[in-house]
Structures are given as structure tokens and as C-alpha cells.
Amino acid sequence: MKLSPEELLLRWANYHLEEAGCGKINNFSADIKDSKAYYNLLNQVAPKGEEEGIPAIVVDMTGIREKEDLKRAECMLDQADRLGCRQFVMPADVVRGNPKLNLAFVANLFNKYPALKKPENQDIDWSSIEGETREERTFRNWMNSLGVNPRVNHLYADIDDALVIFQLYEKIKVPVDWDRVNKPPYSKLGSNMKKLENCNYAVELGKKEAKFSLVGIAGQDLNAGNRTLTLALLWQLMRRYTLNILEDLGDGQKVTDDTIVSWVNDTLTHAEKNTISSFKDLSISSSMPVLDLIDAIQPGSIRYDLVKAEDLTEEEKLNNAKYAISMARKIGARVYALPEDLVEVKPKMVMTVFACLMARGMKRA
């Protein structure tokens, strides 16, 4: 049975609401505004302590009796936070019934606590429901670390008017003509047209001023939250931002991937450590090149007794990666990648790790 992600999530939510003896919902807008369906859903999917190693989480239902919708939503989200699922929505988003953000909130809840002993029907493809990917979380964390306003809680819904994109352009020294930019609050009539005009201008800036490769990307794709095309633009923004930092430290000298690899290898060689061939080098999956580079930049910072270097299990690789990312940040490198990016040797994210360490190393030189 081919259902859209929204239809699947509605079916999943209603399955649990029925189990709780509650009425069904038909949408993630008007029907969830009072937070009561969410309260019952959280109560149903919260761990009951039946699985080994997973402690029970008891949802406090007293907030469901709050008289004001906004206060009730706040109390509900406090309970969602106890499950680690508060992302994407603020109390006002629930009360207003923002469908995009509420869909993201429920998708995240589904991904963390499906609570399905067995699907009602084996022909339903539950795997088509996606929460936030690691890549999306990395971009979101990066943007928020730069202080964009408004803060990005949901990658696509929160940049559909391109205001955040314009701020990122300014961070990479691409001038923005703010007189051409439509700013909120948008009137209800024609609001999407105003947002679309912004997105068209954002793509124009990317092509003409930033000289990005944006083949096949139009303003409509940003506005509609096309995942692949939006991520393509965000990656080029993050890459340019990272390289700009290195160019500033190197008196404006152009920096490429080869420049970074060369610097990394020179630094590792000087410290009598093993080098890498590229950002795809499989030795990176152990995180040893990253740990060695950190120790070369700040000698004695890495406790090698906490690291396993050979015959690693996947869990040991992940532990090394977590330690590497943590230590990179500790010595002052503004690393945005996640440990899994090192374990899986994701070249794009690996590049940002080494570039941020290079920036830290050049500052110390």
C-alpha cells in the first residue's frame, strides 16, 4: 500500500490513539492544536521498561488539564523533551497548527519511539517515514552556530523565505541587496509569492555572485523544501564559509581540497604520524588521522590510552570518533560534522573536520 509520509504518520498516530481509547485525528494542523492528542500519543509510545536496558519514562499527564492552549502545549513539550523529542516545534507552532513543523515533530517521535510490536499490515512501508538525517542536523547546527535569525528548528520549513540564506551569503562575503528582500510579517494574501521572490533572488545570488554550481535549482525548489536541491546549495555555502576562514588566515591565498590534504600531511609528517591519501582514505574510519592531527596541533592533548587503534569493532570506531570530535572542539576547532561522518568516511564532512583543524592549527602557528 503506497501512502505518503503524512498518511503513514496519521495512520501510526491513530493506531496509538485508538489503543489509548482516544478519538482519531485527521491532520497535523487543526486536530492537534489543543495538544491533547499529542499528550495521549506521548503516553502511549513512551518506554514502559519492558525492554532490557531501556528504562521506563512515565509521562506526566497533569498538564492536559491546563485551560489555556498555549500553556497546555508548553507542558506537553516538556514531556516530549523527557523523551528527547522536543525538536522542530515551539508551543505557538502547535497552537497555530503549523502543518510542516508538526509533521516533522511527529516524524521524529515515530523514528525514536515507533512502539509497534508488529505493523497492522505487512504491506505498509513504514521505512518511508524519515526524521531528520544526520546531514540535515549538521547543516542546521552550523547555521544556528552562526547566529542566524530566526533560529532554524526545521531545515526546510524555516528557510522557505530564504531570509536565513541571505544571512549566510553575507557570512561568505556575498553582498545582498536588502532592498530587494521581502521581510516578515507577510500578509496572508500573497505571502507565498513574497517568499518565492526571495528564493528566486537567493538562487540568482548563488549563480551570479557566489559563482556556485546550481544547475537545475530554482527558487521554487527552496520555497517548496526540495531536499536534494536545498542541501546542494547549503553544502556549497558551508564549503565556501570554511574555505574563506582558511583564506583569511593565509592572507587571501586560494584554498582547495588539495591544499588542506597537503597541510594535514605536512603537519602529521612533522609529528611523525601516518598521513592520508585523500578525504576518502579508509584509515579515517578509525579516526586515528584526526586524533593524531589534534595531538600534532596541541601536543599531549590526546590520551592514547583511551583510544583503540587496530582491529576495531564498529562500536570502537564510533567511540574513537566521538572522542576525536570532542577533542577537536576542546582545542578550539569549530567542527560541525558528527562522529558517524568519520566512521563512514563521508568525504564532504571529513573535509570540514580537517579544514576546521587546519584553521585552528594556522592560528596557533
Which residue range forms the structural domain that includes residue 313?
256-364
Q: Dump the DSSP string for 256-293.
A: -HHHHHHHHHHHHHHTT----SSTT-GGGGGTHHHHHH
Give the torsion through C-alpha atoms of 88, 9, 123, 111, to 10 deg: 30
Handedness of CA 253, 256, 258, 260 (dihedral sign): positive
Are residue 210 and residue 317 in the same domain, yes or no?
A: no
Residue 128 banded pLDDT, cuts 50, 70, 90:
low
Are residue 228 and residue 320 in the same domain, yes or no?
A: no
In this predicted model, what pLDDT tens digit does every residue of 15-45 receive, in sequence order?
Answer: 999 999 999 999 999 999 999 999 999 999 9
Count the neighbouring beta carbons within 10 Å of the beta carbon of residue 42: 24
Give the torsion through C-alpha atoms of 82, 151, 328, 354, to 10 deg: 130
Q: Which of 229, 247, 265 is the last residue of a domain?
A: 247
Are residue 238 and residue 279 in the same domain, yes or no?
A: no
Counting Cα atoms < 13 Å in the Cβ hemisphere of 199 gives 25
What CATH number corresponds to the domain at position 284? 1.10.418.10
Cβ burial of 96 (10 Å; 0-12, 13-18, 19+) is middle
Please state whether the peptide bond connecting residue 184 to the residue before it is cis, i.e. omega within 30 degrees of 0: no
Name the domain count of the chain.
3
In this predicted model, what pLDDT tens digit does every residue of 325-347 receive, in sequence order?
Answer: 999 999 989 898 989 999 999 99
Q: Which of 77, 109, 128 is the last residue of a domain?
A: 128
* Residue predicted with more confidence, 70 or 119: 70
Are residue 228 and residue 333 in the same domain, yes or no?
A: no
For the chain, percent of residues with pLDDT exceeding 70: 95
Are residue 177 and residue 238 in the same domain, yes or no?
A: yes
Are residue 176 and residue 274 in the same domain, yes or no?
A: no
Is residue 9 scored above 60 in pLDDT? yes
Are residue 144 and residue 119 in the same domain, yes or no?
A: no
Are residue 115 and residue 147 in the same domain, yes or no?
A: no
Report the alpha-carbon distance of residue 337 to residue 235 in Å, rounded.
12
Are residue 202 and residue 314 in the same domain, yes or no?
A: no
Residue 265 banded pLDDT, cuts 50, 70, 90:
very high
Are residue 157 and residue 230 in the same domain, yes or no?
A: yes
Are residue 138 and residue 124 in the same domain, yes or no?
A: no
Is the pTM of the predicted complex or chain greater than 0.85?
Answer: no
Is residue 119 scored above 50 in pLDDT? no
Q: Which of 108, 128, 148 is the last residue of a domain?
A: 128
Are residue 66 and residue 157 in the same domain, yes or no?
A: no
